[in-house]
Structure 1
């Protein structure tokens, strides 16, 4: 795929990694369809695009609304006649421990956005991606591989995304669509990097028998925690664009050295190539076409 002629749709572009990726993709020459649940929140994106001297096509897409997903993807097909890449970025943070302190409604809401939303947009876009031999890139998380204390709901959703995409990748690859999951470290300039005081005090007060454990966790977060893992949204965005442009990107793409080392605590197959090769052999595709 040549950057100069690629149409890329990116979800969740009102801030953070999504915003940075929309700008980076446009700078790389992609025609960028930047989507968000509320287009009225597009000011930061448009200002960033203006500073970069690029244009983005802002459209509404609520990943939890089937009609919204269909309307957006159909609109791209009608207006551009193709879709070369999808970047699943939209998501919500959920620092709300499931065991005893959260609700089933909160758990389901988290999964609806962070997992089912990814599936819904990917399903809608797949016919267009398949028609053009496109790319499907999803923003994952180290929390989708290594479980994080007091982040059960978010980790559950990201584990689900990782498993879904790992299972999809060899089948999609056999039909011309390359699937990758970009795994950032800690990104402090996003809402995911913010740890609101209200969450600290509220959860601490409600933590009951887990109070001392939660206090120890907060001390770790506030001490060494994720600071050593820090990278900016723009740095993650460049990794996403590089993944879109690579001839044969790996399935799993750590966004920095810290993420790669962190995944190494659990994964021997850090970039997913061994599992993908094995899975391709099961469907008569020992090599990518």
Structure 2
């Protein structure tokens, strides 16, 4: 049999980097993509240390032409891992709507651009789509309104797509990490400005940031979060929804068993009181 090919977005660091290395260790041909390939050093070093190789390509998920180019010369594609994304901190009254749209463009429409382009090849191979969302795609979180909205949208889109894709042999799954020890939080654009300009929201924001620091003190490793992704790539019948840790499972369970929404409101309100 031919070696199976997986394309993974957002592999310059964190979960994407770990997933690319782990998939290669499991025998996959890995097309590891990132917006800026000058940042491929850590990935290539990790692959070399693991005794595997990955193929690095430029791919900006917000640019349809870049998406098309990254797939153009692949002779086959057996799996797609949508991992690229960006965090965002802010609240509605103090947000510019264009910033909210930018969050949606990266975290939601970027996933759609890549998935749409990949589906013809995935139909041919009876492959699968694995999309990294977040526990924030299940439970809305204070000062993460735009980010959670994008992740909610991804979850709803993929949950709706899954039965349709299954009729043509394509499996669709979402992966929900909680806190992961990576550069994701530190890379949130404009974080310092949001804190400086919090105004009447300053006490609530300070409480939220303190809670977040505590959560990330016990964060999961990128390798731990990547392991379920590789399991989904290789499962005979992959689940639709998978959390990456016990903490993520407990957190999302609050919402998934919360018929009237009161449990979630009580939980997240306590973070900022």
Secondary structure of 2:60's counterpart equals coil
Q: State which of 152, 167, 172 in structure 2 corresponds to 1:174.
A: 167
Q: Could you give the per-residue CA deviations for residues 78-126 of structure 1, whole angstroms, max 9, x where no partner exists?
A: xxx210000000111112x131222111111111110000000000000
Contact 1:83–1:128 (8 Å) recurs in 2:
yes
Once the two structures are overlaid, the 10-residue window that deviates more, 254-263 or 99-108, is 99-108
Q: Provide the rounded CA distance (Å) in 1 between the counterparts of 2:26 and 2:65.
A: 31
Q: Provide the rounded CA distance (Å) in 1 between the counterparts of 2:72 and 2:239.
A: 29
How far the C-alpha of 1:256 sits from its partner, in A, is: 0.8
Contact 2:87–2:188 (8 Å) recurs in 1:
no
Paired residue for 2:232? 243
Paired residue for 2:194? 203
Secondary structure of 2:180's counterpart equals coil
Q: Provide the rounded CA distance (Å) in 2 between the counterparts of 1:196 and 1:35.
A: 20
Contact 1:27–1:52 (8 Å) recurs in 2:
yes
Secondary structure of 2:72's counterpart equals helix
TM-score under structure 2 normalisation? 0.90
Q: Provide the rounded CA distance (Å) in 2 between the counterparts of 1:207 and 1:194.
A: 19
How far the C-alpha of 1:209 sits from its partner, in A, is: 1.6
Residue 234 of structure 1 pairs with residue 204 of structure 2: no
Contact 1:6–1:84 (8 Å) recurs in 2:
yes
Paired residue for 2:210? 219
TM-score under structure 1 normalisation? 0.85
Q: Provide the rounded CA distance (Å) in 2 between the counterparts of 1:26 and 1:225.
A: 30
How far the C-alpha of 1:198 sits from its partner, in A, is: 7.4
How far the C-alpha of 1:131 sits from its partner, in A, is: 0.7
Residue 256 of structure 1 pairs with residue 245 of structure 2: yes
Q: State which of 72, 81, 85 in structure 1 corresponds to 2:79.
A: 85
How far the C-alpha of 1:195 sits from its partner, in A, is: 7.8
How far the C-alpha of 1:199 sits from its partner, in A, is: 2.5
Q: State which of 36, 43, 46 in structure 1 corresponds to 2:44.
A: 46
Structure 1 gaps, min length 5: 270-289
Residue 149 of structure 1 pairs with residue 142 of structure 2: yes
Q: Could you give the per-residue CA deviations for residues 22-41 of structure 1, whole angstroms, max 9, x where no partner exists?
A: 11000000000001111121
Q: State which of 176, 185, 188 in structure 2 corresponds to 1:183.
A: 176
Secondary structure of 1:191's counterpart equals coil
Task: From the superposition, tell whether residues 197 and 167 of structure 1 become closer, same or farther in structure 2 (CA, over 3 Å).
Answer: closer
Aligned pairs for 1:14-29 within 5 A: 14-29=12-27
Q: Could you give the per-residue CA deviations for residues 207-227 of structure 1, whole angstroms, max 9, x where no partner exists?
A: 1221221122223223x4344
Paired residue for 1:284? none
Structure 2 gaps, min length 5: 259-273
Q: Provide the rounded CA distance (Å) in 1 between the counterparts of 2:21 and 2:188.
A: 27
How far the C-alpha of 1:181 sits from its partner, in A, is: 0.3
Q: Provide the rounded CA distance (Å) in 1 between the counterparts of 2:187 and 2:206.
A: 14
- The number of aligned residues is 258
Paired residue for 2:60? 62
